[in-house]
Structure 1
Amino acid sequence: MASLALASCGSPETAEKAGAKNEANASGVDYAAAVAALPPGQRNGVFFRAVRDAGLPCQKIVSAELLKTKVSNGEWKVQCDNGDAHLISIAHDGQAIVTSRSD
């Protein structure tokens, strides 16, 4: 699982397009399911890397909550130690889309 290659760039429009796909990528791996199956510490490591790769400040993920949404991707609300909240959408192909909130 450590070899999950997640990219953390994209936009809400990209998330909508990715959400339209409900299948695994060409390799047959469903990364959204793979991330959800990780132990909390490793899953938070994936989220930390996605947030940092997006150029956002965060030293530690203090909480992560799987959201039940209409989008077929794995969508998580994560909170950093500095209080910043982010929505991370993990597409089935492994792309992570990070959306930040200021509250």
Structure 2
Amino acid sequence: MRALLVMLGGSLMLAACGPSAEQQAAANEAAAANAVEAQQMATQVEALSPGQRDGVFIRAIRDAGLRCQGVTSSERGEKPGSWVATCQEGSRHIITFGANGMANVTSFTPQPAPQR
């Protein structure tokens, strides 16, 4: 009987650890608002001229602490709202913008195709 009470008490404590329905609803609402703001930011970046857009991208790359002498080209990425910027020295970076306007920069170097 005592073991049953301990298991029941433990189960009740675990159930109390999860978010309430109101907390979950508030979190879902905040996530939806962030998604809308991120889409608005993506639309603003897309509306820039190519030169202005590349200027924004080089600033984001340098702010991320990465080297880039100049952005020579940029194109839309595979993920909606993402861009791929290529620097003069050949480095490439995926840039996305969050709802707060902050840029997220992920660098990658394409691997050359294997020679046969």
Is TM more than 0.5 here?
Answer: yes
Aligned length, in residue pairs = 79
Unaligned 5+ runs, structure 1: 1-17
Query: Larger % of helix: which?
Result: 2
Bigger radius of gyration: 2
Q: CA deviation at 1:45?
A: 0.3
TM-score (norm 2): 0.60
Secondary structure, aligned partner of 1:93 = coil
Alignment map for 1:1-103 (pairs within 5 Å): 21-24=34-37, 30-69=40-79, 72=80, 74-103=81-110
TM-score (norm 1): 0.67
Q: State the match for 2:16 in structure 1.
A: none
Q: CA deviation at 1:36?
A: 0.8
Q: Distance in 2 between the 1:39 and 1:93 partners?
A: 22
Unaligned 5+ runs, structure 2: 1-30, 111-116
Matched AA of 2:66: L
Query: Larger % of strand: which?
Result: 1
Q: State the match for 1:6 in structure 2.
A: none
Q: Distance in 1 between the 2:70 and 2:97 partners?
A: 19
- Structure with the larger RCO, 1 or 2 (CA within 8 Å, 6+ apart): 1
Q: Which runs of 4+ in 1 moved over 6 A?
A: none
